[in-house]
Structure 1
Amino acid sequence: MRSRGPARTPEDLVRALRAAGITDERLLEAVRATPREQFVPSGRATAAYNDVPVSIGHEQVTTQPSLSAMMIESLGLGGDEHVLEVGTGLGFQTALLARLAADVVSIEMWPDVAAEARRSLAGQGVRNVELRVGDGSGGVPDRAPYDAVIVSAAFPEVPAPLIEQVRPGGRLVQPIGSGGDEEVMSFRRTAAGLDAGRLLTAARFVRLRGRYGFP
């Protein structure tokens, strides 16, 4: 019988994130403790611990783990934050945020994707996430303000409702661009709005769709 080689594990993903420059030990421990194979389609489980995006249907993909970790790290979460996530996907990033913050409100536009994420989060005993289905471009105003906002889809500017929902001093991270060739930017909310932002990396993201995004 031909050997298939050793099975990959969360530790392989942790090593990939370290190689990509991630240094937040709380975040790396969250990755170590979160089985990504439970958050990818069943046919893609063998790719779960590779640092690659995974297709989830509707012309959508998961965020590459190292890129997701870079975005999360930029939020500087300490454990007591109220976080908004725009774009739940299959819930791996949501699960990481839930381990790092007090609670997470996550909004996903596709009901079937949200339902799968909800099952996976429940299967891992994640209870501090409120998952909604709807137009994430407008945020979730009835649960604002947020200490941190993470947007997993691209638009040429930060939608005004999302800016308004970040508390003063809070952080927001979003890919800025038209979809396909973006600059991932980290912002801090000031009294006047958002600061000029800090470039994290170049990347490719799907488009943010909705009332305050693309049609």
Structure 2
Amino acid sequence: MNYEQARFNMIEQQIRPWEVLDNQVLSLLAVMRREDFVPPACKALAFTDMEIPLPPHKNPGQCMLAPRVEARILQDLAVQKHEKVLEIGTGSGFMAALLAHRAQQVITLEIEPELAETARRNLQKAGIYNAEVRQADGAANLAEAVSGNGPLRGPFDVIVLSGSVAEVPAALLDQLKVGGRLSAIVGDEPMMRATLITRVGKDSFRTTQAWDTVAPRLLNFPAPSKFTF
């Protein structure tokens, strides 16, 4: 398989048509070896317009997002070199790798221990050392997972949810700096909204929803009650 041609086709046929026109994002996607982050059995699918399931397959929803979705999220967030990033849902580590190239530091949380270890290996092989994978449940133990005495702790300039949620928990917004941005895919099938939340003050936020997509649920994030009175 000609990976370079497949990478070029992915960018020109999937990502550009999805209004990803930021040259820095496109240049990064042209050099990042996505094929090194997919499961070995799926290398031929590395550049296809689809989600790629990730072993150990205990939770069927755990996957790599489609390339166009990853690219659009990266463009929306406009991560800067001085910024500190938190990702929920490491998966294979590919999104963390993209973020690490744009940011100063990345913490990425993965609930599945085997996936967390795979992501660590993938990032190390890619020569990325400013991204730390922590095995943790971002839905239940967020404050504990991002605390500590070193530089890799909250609050954050950027938070990325690499999967969907029914609604964005307040605990995540609490970890966002003033001026920081949070990206999440919010809602229920068959249509979800890519949601960008910017913290504009201590207790105030601005929300935009620029495009629609569908993504698997992040584990353990609660759904709001459907009952009304």
TM, length-normalised to structure 2: 0.84
Query: In structure 2, what is the equivalent of residue 72 of structure 1?
Result: 74
Shift of 1:148: 0.5
Is residue 2:210 matched to residue 1:200?
A: yes
Query: In structure 2, what is the equivalent of residue 157 of structure 1?
Result: 167
Question: Contact between 1:180 and 1:205, CA under 8 Å: does it hold in 2?
Answer: no
Is residue 2:146 matched to residue 1:141?
A: yes
User: Which of the numbers 172, 187, 192 marks the counterpart of 2:182?
Assistant: 172
Question: Contact between 1:72 and 1:150, CA under 8 Å: does it hold in 2?
Answer: no
Is residue 2:2 matched to residue 1:9?
A: no
Deviates more, 1:172-181 or 1:64-73: 172-181
Shift of 1:207: 1.6
Counterpart code for 2:222: G
Shift of 1:180: 5.7
% identity of equivalent residues: 29
Counterpart of 2:178 in 1: which secondary structure?
A: strand
Task: State how 1:107-118 maps to structure 2 within 5 Å.
Answer: 107-118=109-120
Counterpart code for 1:164: D
Shift of 1:65: 1.0
Counterpart code for 2:89: G
Shift of 1:213: 3.1
Counterpart code for 1:213: P
User: Which of the numbers 100, 104, 107 marks the counterpart of 2:106?
Assistant: 104
Counterpart of 2:19 in 1: which secondary structure?
A: coil
How many corresponding residue pairs? 209
Shift of 1:94: 0.9
Is residue 2:39 matched to residue 1:34?
A: no
1:87-108 deviation line (CA, Å, top 9, x unaligned): 1110111111011111110001
Is residue 2:194 matched to residue 1:184?
A: yes
Whole-Å separation in 2 of the counterparts to 1:127 and 1:134: 19
Gaps of 5+ in 1: none
Gaps of 5+ in 2: 148-152, 224-229
Shift of 1:127: 0.3
Counterpart code for 2:178: P
Question: Contact between 1:173 and 1:187, CA under 8 Å: does it hold in 2?
Answer: yes
Question: Contact between 1:109 and 1:136, CA under 8 Å: does it hold in 2?
Answer: yes
Query: In structure 2, what is the equivalent of residue 213 of structure 1?
Result: 222
Whole-Å separation in 2 of the counterparts to 1:80 and 1:102: 5
Question: Contact between 1:26 and 1:100, CA under 8 Å: does it hold in 2?
Answer: no
Question: Contact between 1:55 and 1:62, CA under 8 Å: does it hold in 2?
Answer: yes
Shift of 1:10: 2.4
TM, length-normalised to structure 1: 0.90
Off by >3 Å, runs of 4+ in structure 1: 6-9, 138-141, 178-181
Query: In structure 2, what is the equivalent of residue 126 of structure 1?
Result: 128
